[in-house]
Structure 1
Amino acid sequence: MDQAEEEVYCIGCGAKIQTTNKDQLGYTPQSALDKGLEKGEVYCQRCFRLRHYNEIAPVSLTDDDFLRLLSQIRDDDALIVYVVDMFDFNGSMIPGIHRFVGDNPVLLVGNKEDIFPKSLKRNKMKEWLKQQANLQGIRPVDVLLTSAKNLDEIEILLNTIEKYRKNRNAYVVGVTNVGKSTLINQIIRINNGTQNLITTSRFPGTTLDKIEIPFEDGKMLIDTPGIVHEDQMAHVLTGKDLKYVSPQKTIKPKTFQLDDQQTLFFGGLGRFDYLSGHGAVSTYFENNLMIHRTKLSNAENFYTKHVGELLTPPDKEGLKNLPELQRHEFHLNEKSDVVIEGLGWLTVPSHSTIAIWAPKGISTVVRRPLV
């Protein structure tokens, strides 16, 4: 059997390597495969281009393929390490996760905690995370906050996985873009010094098949493909605009004293109308996303005139693919967070009637305040 026919898997995304069809998963030229086998590091062409040129290629893997890959978890006696994005908690929940975990214990990991101000007490965040998980029918054995940028926190994550694993496999699960692969890259780096082995990016769906990293006892830490949420904001933006919805640094909340009949625009991606009520409205978005205030009576004209220019993202090019903004109205009896999944949220005073606008298909949620 020659090298091209052997079962070789991309260490970046987990796809099975093949050298015959450029349009299918796992393609790499034979020459690149030969070089990769010599070095002991084989990447598919998609991962190579993503890693070196930040280019994303379309793939033929469907949602059903992702779900089928995860279905084996239910039948394994294993620890489930369930990673959620603390900045986009609601958008990073897996619907019906109980179908994938079965009776296995769940360690809940809130990733990207570093983008929250240090003034926000972490114990309060953990308790909030646990309560939100309970509302989703999940009873985790433990809750951790972590950041791939903090190696001390990665050590704590590793030790906690060992505590609950009990000589079993550990599956790392989550939706796309919660930072699973970045966390695992740091775990690999701590264990053997290799940096950035697994392909990571802001693009959804980077890991395409499960990737296995051995524990000392022969069991595996398994990075599974991210569940694709088609209603995530990342799916309606160009690569250039994704930086405005994926905070890389500590977010700096902005507070607006608002009266009724005022509007806030979040670039051209979202809008908040204060229909009745007044008080301090705090906003939590990526620091470079511009927020513009105007009168509600002027909002339609303001958006039509400025979207794609003053109101960016999206730019003119990205505007072509952005679904129209859809209106959702809520009456809030108590102080609440109003979330545009994948973009950010506002904390709004009690006794307020508001409308939130998001691209059609993107979910909006009212929840108990995180801050």
Structure 2
Amino acid sequence: MSVTIKCKGCGATLQTKDVQKVGYALTLDHDYCQACYKLLHYGDVHEHFHPEDLPKLSQDAVVFMVSSVLHLDMLFTYPVYRYEPNLKYVYLINQIDLLPESTNLDEMLKNMIIRAKQMRIPYHDIIMMSAKNPYDIKNLEVYMQNFSEKNLYLIGVQNSGKTTIFKALTKDTHALAFSKAGLTQEALIKNIGKRQIYDMPGLYQKGYVHQFLPYQIYKRLIPQETIKPKIYQLKKDQTLFLEGLVSISVSNDKQTVVLYVKNSLNVHKTNITKIENLLKEKENNFDIYVDDYEEKNFKITDTKMQLTFADIGFMHIQGPNTIKVTYPKGMHISLSEALFK
């Protein structure tokens, strides 16, 4: 009888026959597939594939929908509850440690509840936490033990911190938690008390930065520590350039914008008339850039709005104003009402 052996890093079934397929290992005695081994020891990335289908979930289960604060524009947009309407759904808002200490979390939670009701999202609870905070992890563990259901699923967009939560709850030292999209290939399963917890493969989000940039570059763009907001006063037709990736130009005078991006991310101010020339010689002007760009105009009302740049970060702006955004072709850019001020 054959025995299925899983990679302890990504959950893929180990195999020794095809180096091009997921789960390839030199021998079945290894803890990791070659892709995970190279990522762990050398930072070398062999692309994992992105699972497209959500595996069947047990009916005796609670689903924890994990979302990073960097992905709040996508909150409630993955309707897993439509496929499994009889399960309980708890929304975990992870990585709140990335937000400034001055962030009004009570207001943020209140606005998320309002949004859930407006979108008619069924939920058992909404919890804000940081997987890096032992106190939050302990509280989450106690919370999970209060359910009678046997199975606990962690589901969410890639790079939302599911595996970091899984490792902290189960004390798993082998599972890999890097800013690497599509790392978890098959469910990682461990016992937590009398229950089983499943770290599910990340839901694929089209237009995030891993689609345009290699791992060694895009991991430098994703915030890993508390963000220090950058406040800019812009005049008519002035432009902010985020690396060589995104430019934001305003149409009206005296506009305040607040950027929430990685502290080391290069931001410089220029003029809208210079965008075309800067991008024509992008190799000389920027360290990080792509081949093709597109443009979009957004009308900002007098409500505080959030403009999200894929999984790099976001900007708060209160109009009225019209902004022009130039960004990598196909990149996820969205405008939504800000959840906090």
Deviation at 1:287, TM superposition (A): 0.9
**What residue ranges of structure 1 are gaps of 5+ in the alignment?**
37-41, 315-321
Identity of aligned residues (%): 25
The one-character-per-residue Cα deviations of 1:50-80 (angstroms, maximum 9, x if unpaired) are 1111222134x4544xx1xx2412x523100
Compared with structure 1, are the counterparts of its residues 93 and 325 closer, same or farther at alpha carbon in structure 2 (3 Å cutoff)? farther
Structure with greater proportional helix content? 1
Give the Cα separation in 2 of the matches to 1:181 and 1:309. Answer: 38
The one-character-per-residue Cα deviations of 1:290-349 (angstroms, maximum 9, x if unpaired) are 1111121222223333x24443323xxxxxxx3522111111122311222212222112
Native 8 Å contact 1:148 1:183 kept in 2? yes
Is 1:114 matched up with 2:89?
Answer: no
Is 1:325 matched up with 2:325?
Answer: no
Q: 2:166: which partner in 1? A: 184
Q: Paired residue for 1:359, among 315, 328, 331?
A: 328
Q: So what's the TM-score if we normalise by structure 1? A: 0.85
Native 8 Å contact 2:294 2:329 kept in 1? yes
The one-character-per-residue Cα deviations of 1:238-282 (angstroms, maximum 9, x if unpaired) are 222223321111111111111211111111110101022432111
Q: 1:234: which partner in 2? A: 210
Native 8 Å contact 1:88 1:343 kept in 2? no
Deviation at 1:92, TM superposition (A): 6.8
Of the structure 1 ranges 232-241 and 132-141, higher mean CA displacement relative to structure 2 is found in 132-141
Deviation at 1:128, TM superposition (A): 3.1
Q: Paired residue for 2:3, among 6, 19, 25?
A: 6
Is 1:78 matched up with 2:61?
Answer: yes
Give the Cα separation in 2 of the matches to 1:63 and 1:55. Answer: 21
Number of equivalent positions: 339
Q: In structure 1, the residue corresponding to 2:219 is in which secondary structure?
A: helix
Compared with structure 1, are the counterparts of its residues 83 and 29 closer, same or farther at alpha carbon in structure 2 (3 Å cutoff)? same
The one-character-per-residue Cα deviations of 1:122-164 (angstroms, maximum 9, x if unpaired) are 222222333444455423211112222211111112122223x
**Pairwise CA RMSD:** 2.0
Native 8 Å contact 1:94 1:174 kept in 2? no
Report which structure shows greater RCO (CA 8 Å, sep ≥6): 2
Compared with structure 1, are the counterparts of its residues 19 and 299 closer, same or farther at alpha carbon in structure 2 (3 Å cutoff)? closer
Q: 2:288: which partner in 1? A: 313
Give the Cα separation in 2 of the matches to 1:150 and 1:209. Answer: 26
Is 1:173 matched up with 2:194?
Answer: no
Native 8 Å contact 1:340 1:364 kept in 2? yes
1:53-92 to 2 correspondences below 5 Å: 53-59=42-48, 61=49, 63-64=51-52, 67=53, 70-73=54-57, 76-91=59-74
Native 8 Å contact 1:326 1:358 kept in 2? yes
Letter in 1 for 2:16: T
Deviation at 1:93, TM superposition (A): 5.8
Native 8 Å contact 1:91 1:341 kept in 2? no
Give the Cα separation in 2 of the matches to 1:238 and 1:77. Answer: 40
Compared with structure 1, are the counterparts of its residues 281 and 178 closer, same or farther at alpha carbon in structure 2 (3 Å cutoff)? same
Q: In structure 2, the residue corresponding to 1:72 is in which secondary structure?
A: coil
Q: 1:125: which partner in 2? A: 108
Give the Cα separation in 2 of the matches to 1:229 and 1:112. Answer: 18
Q: In structure 1, the residue corresponding to 2:100 is in which secondary structure?
A: coil
